[in-house]
Amino acid sequence: MGDNIKKPDHYCEGREYEPKDVIRDWGLNFNLGSCVKYISRAGRKGDILEDLKKAKQFLEFEIEAVEEERKSDIGMTCKEAAEIGDAILKGFEESFTL
């Protein structure tokens, strides 16, 4: 049995790299690092479905953060900008089909 504080089995046993080292090496932020952490331990500590749902939640947190960041850069989300672009294009196409 490993040291449950420094080298927990659910992260280390049978693995060459610990998730904390991968997360650090890849320069991941909290949300993405947590996602990797929960995926790496899925089924090794507790319920696999719970860990996968936690990973999914942290990925959703990151997606929301990126969307908010982009929204603040252009004043709207990418989806909103795409919808406006589609409406403009549709109006442009309709003006030439008269």
Parent domain of 75: 9-95
Do the domain assignments include residue 53? yes
3 within domain boundaries:
no
Average pLDDT of the chain to the nearest whole number: 83
What pLDDT digit, counting tens, does each position of 58-80 carry?
999 999 999 888 877 777 777 77
- What is the value of pTM for the model shown? 0.65
Dist. CA 62–CA 70, nearest whole Å = 12
**Tally of domains in the chain:** 1
Give the Cα separation of 32 and 19 in Å (integer): 12
Residue 89 lies in a domain: yes
Phi, psi torsion values for 46, nearest 5 degrees:
75, -150
The secondary structure of 65-77 as a DSSP string is HHHHHHHHHHSS-
Looking at residue 83, its pLDDT comes to 85
What percent of the chain shows pLDDT beyond 70? 84
Query: Would you tell me how many other CB atoms lie within 10 Å of the CB of residue 68?
Result: 11
Q: Would you state the structure tokens that stand for residue 2, as one six-digit string?
A: 């490993």
pLDDT tens readout for residues 27-44: 999 999 999 999 999 888
- Interaxial angle between packed helices 78-95 and 48-74, expressed in degrees from 0 to 180 and rounded to the nearest 10: 60
